[in-house]
Structure 1
Amino acid sequence: MAKTVAHMTSVHHPFDTRIYHKECRSLQHAGYDVTLIAPETDSASEINILPIKKYTNKFLRMAFSTYQVYKQARQLDADYYHFHDPELLPIGWLLKKKNNVVIYDIHEDYATSIMQKEYIPRPIRKLITKTYKRMENVLGRDMAFCLAEKYYEELYPHGQTILNYPLLDQSLLNKEVSEDVGQPENKLLYTGNIDVDRGAYVQARLPLIDEEITVYFFGKCSREVADNMYETAGAEKDRLIIEGIERYVPREDIDHQYMNRRWLAGLALFPPTDHYKRKELTKFFEYMSAGIPILCSNFPVWQAFIDRYQCGIAVDPQDKADIQDALEYLRLYPEEAAKMGRNGQKAVREELNWQKEEEKLLQWYDELSRKAREIGDEHAK
């Protein structure tokens, strides 16, 4: 019989790219019986989804959604439980048996992220961070850790890194990026969740920095952040297009945008934060797949990435002149911009793709299953 896998999230959208399109689909294609426990959706799915009620209030979600996840998961009695949110740590601990596998998929550096939330008083932030780390150390003792970023290996030396590289989407990779297609449009693209730490207000200033530019955002954005972005752009707010205010933007819609235009650049102009400046952003790889040059902040890790793959330009996100110079360069030298796009596609095709991470994931699942059997056999003696 096929081994059963339950992926669990109370926070992420059921069609989250990493959870649904990469991990769940890869496991399903490899012959696993996969179920996803996630917030309810009306959309059709190729994976069996057990819905839980979605709460907009964070405290209600942590109280009631977590219990619903546990109730659904316990009934499955799965061989693998793979969860994606820190609030599900107690659930993972309750589900752990001697002969099954529980995996905590760490999408973010949560301790650092908590310390950056300036709306929480600093002493409270410290207390929350300490409590979280203590809970993680105690409840996660018998779990396997799946790491979405390279630098998380420093925090979890026994974890398994499964990077968030893109699927090999042939329609994107086959998008022609030649030197003679003419001048790119004066349009910049940003994809993914939109918030302050992800550069919402930095990027909202772009129409004020460059009078020819229109900036398109495709990703979930709160009404408050969107209103503040429009206010930041002031009289130029008509050149700020935000798709995704108070709603999830489906993967298919974002892929369509990658193909829809000849974008001048894909944006990642983030302010400097400990949480993001060491991450290799998933949007980097997606821009590269579509042959779009990257325009990003010049954090050392990001600068090194751009230099290695020659796929864009890194600038000081607080320096208007630096940003303006980069935009002007991309406009004046379309053949160089096209070369950056082709370099990005080549890197994704040959190295930075999910298919290679998929192999690691499947091999790791096999290893975890073997260890669980050995432990079960030991306890049966």
Structure 2
Amino acid sequence: MAKKVCIIVAHHPFTDARIFKKEAKSLQKKGYHITMIVPRQSGRLFDIDGTPFRKQFLNKVFTYEGIKVVTYHSESTQKALSTVLSNESVWERHGFNNTLTQLAIQEDADIYHAHEYLSLFAGVGIKRQMKKKKGKDVKLIYDSHELTPDPLDPRYTKERRDLLKQRLLTMLDEVDHVITVSDSIKSWYLSHKPDLPVDVIYNSPPLAQHHKPKTYNSNGLTVGYEGNIVASQGKMEKILCISELCSKELEFEFKIIGGSRYGDSKIPTHLPHQIMLTGWIDYHALPKTMDNVDIGMVDLESVKHSLNQDYALPNKFFSYLNNGVPVVVNKCKEMEEFINRHHCGFVIDKTNATSQDFANAFLSLHQDMNKLQRMSQNARHAMERFYSWEHMENRLFAVYQSLFAT
């Protein structure tokens, strides 16, 4: 009989690339029966850019691409899930009666796979109640997309960060396996729980098919930026400034793949001719969109105030490399080590790089087309040999097989 897996989600969109398009679909392909328990906000499911689905996915339970999806109203769980900061006696009395936990228990799965701090809390409740009420020992995976709490996050007081961390360490005692997204985050977990099984599954895409090696013989340059642009963070202003600086020296285009999230009206709708805004692109269409991109940009600001930024290897980083696009980044530990290992990009030696710093890097690389060509080849080679989702998928399967073997 095929094993049942229940993916529990507290706040991610249900079509999230890592959760649905990679992990859930891979496990389905392997023969597992997959159910996802996912949140509605104001009664709606929402797309990856935050846009609510108004005419789709209206039923409480439905099947999407062969995967069962059970929905709940996130507002109904907030009070109960917030008791994670209380003592464990409160957990049992008031925390584990939340809708997410109870719906997941009804699925009677063999493995529960949590994707956030709060869904991990729900998962602890599932594991305890499945044992208490049904006498069934289930396995619990914590898929840690980032460190929560971030030890450097200034938005929280030290007292709150310490309490969140203390509760996390308590919950980890009931976790059977941790999956995370970078080696630095893995090291953080092992420094606190040396016996905890932890594996890294990078946020890398399936290997782009029909790849054509890039040829750098043009007088112009196209820089790509993939992902969100939050107006309040000044990212668009930085892109505009970089474009203005580079356009003084050569024929330049900045290609933004993504843009503002739903409801952000501050992104200008009329942009200079040097800037192309594609909007949000279907996951499988990204390789074609990258065809004419020469260099990719990753700018993770406030590294000094976020260990997650310093430890990050974001989706966009691998998306560039997957398509043979060398990447220019500000100084972040994990990306810097990766680039130095594979010689697939350039690291600006500043944690908070300015528009001028990025423009200088782009213009300098443009002066050495042979170097760009080698970086492009190295980027694609690294994905082919080590990092594409096909490699990560095998790591995921190994984690699941190890849990069913115990």
Common fold by TM > 0.5: yes
TM-score computed with the length of structure 2 as normaliser: 0.75
- Aligned equivalents of 1:358, 1:348: Cα separation in 2: 13
Superposed displacement of residue 286, structure 1: 1.4
- Is 1:251 equivalent to 2:270 in the alignment? no
Superposed displacement of residue 191, structure 1: 1.6
2:165 is aligned to 133
CA RMSD of superposed structures (Å): 3.3
Q: Secondary structure at the match of 1:78?
A: coil
Residue of 377, 390, 395 corresponding to 1:355: 390
Alignment of 1:262-273 (within 5 A): 262-273=292-303
Aligned length: 350
What CA deviation, in whole Å up to 9, does each residue of 1:215-250 have, x standing for no partner? 3333363468672x659xxx9766455555xxx754
Return 5+ residue gaps in structure 2 as ranges. Answer: 40-44, 46-52, 58-62, 83-97, 191-195
Q: 1:219 to 1:334 in 2, by over 3 A?
A: same
Q: Is the 8 A contact 2:302 2:309 kept in 1?
A: yes
Q: Secondary structure at the match of 2:377?
A: helix
One-letter amino acid matched to 2:316 = K
What CA deviation, in whole Å up to 9, does each residue of 1:282-332 have, x standing for no partner? 322211111112111133443332222121222245355442332223333
Alignment of 1:36-75 (within 5 A): 36-39=36-39, 40=45, 42=56, 45-53=64-72, 62-63=78-79, 67-75=98-106
Q: Secondary structure at the match of 2:157?
A: helix
Q: Is the 8 A contact 1:293 1:312 kept in 2?
A: yes
1:12 is aligned to 12
More helix by share: 1
Q: Is the 8 A contact 2:9 2:38 kept in 1?
A: yes
1:88 is aligned to 119
- Is 1:298 equivalent to 2:331 in the alignment? yes
Q: 1:307 to 1:156 in 2, by over 3 A?
A: closer
1:377 is aligned to none
Superposed displacement of residue 107, structure 1: 0.4
TM-score computed with the length of structure 1 as normaliser: 0.79
Q: Is the 8 A contact 1:100 1:369 kept in 2?
A: no
Alignment of 1:129-278 (within 5 A): 129-144=161-176, 145-157=178-190, 158-171=196-209, 174-179=210-215, 182-183=217-218, 186-195=221-230, 202-211=238-247, 212-219=251-258, 221-222=260-261, 227=266, 239-242=274-277, 250-259=282-291, 262-273=292-303, 274-278=307-311
Return 5+ residue gaps in structure 1 as ranges. Answer: 372-381
- Aligned equivalents of 2:73, 2:370: Cα separation in 1: 48
Q: Is the 8 A contact 2:7 2:113 kept in 1?
A: yes
One-letter amino acid matched to 1:219 = G
Q: 1:213 to 1:345 in 2, by over 3 A?
A: same
1:21 is aligned to 21
- Is 1:338 equivalent to 2:357 in the alignment? no
1:376 is aligned to none
